[in-house]
Amino acid sequence: AQKITQTQPGMFVQEKEAVTLDCTYDTSDPSYGLFWYKQPSSGEMIFLIYQGSYDQQNATEGRYSLNFQKARKSANLVISASQLGDSAMYFCAMSLANFGNEKLTFGTGTRLTIIP
C-alpha cells in the first residue's frame, strides 16, 4: 500500500521569499505519479504540478517546481517568490500506474500562511 507523509502541519513565510513544502512517499511499485494540489479557504482543489516516477527532470510550472529525489523517496514542492494568494492548504498525493490502483493517496497537508 502506498503512503504519503507531510511533516509540516503549518508554515509561515514572508512575502516574496521562496518556500519548500516537504513530502515523502512510500511504495514498492516502480511506476507511479506524484501530484501537488492547493486548497484555498474557499475549498476547491487546484492542481499545481505532476512528476512521473520515470521522469528524468524535475517538473516545473511557473513559480512551482518539484524537487524529486527518487532514492530518498521525496517530492518537495518549491514555490518561488511567494505571494499573499499562496496562503492555502497544500496536499501532496500519489497514484500508482497498475490497473485498479489509480486512486490518489493524499498526505495530511501543510497550511501555508504568507506574511505581508
Residues that bind other proteins (CB under 8 A): 32-35, 37, 43-47, 50, 52, 91, 93-97, 99-109
Minimum CB separation from other proteins for residue 91, in Å? Answer: 6
How many angstroms separate the Cα of 26 from the Cα of each of 32, 34, 75?
11, 11, 11
Minimum CB separation from other proteins for residue 5, in Å? Answer: 11
Q: Which is nearer to other proteins, 43 or 116 (CB)?
A: 43
Minimum CB separation from other proteins for residue 90, in Å? Answer: 11
- Hey, is 92 helix, strand or coil? strand
Number of Cβ within 10 Å of residue 9's Cβ equals: 9
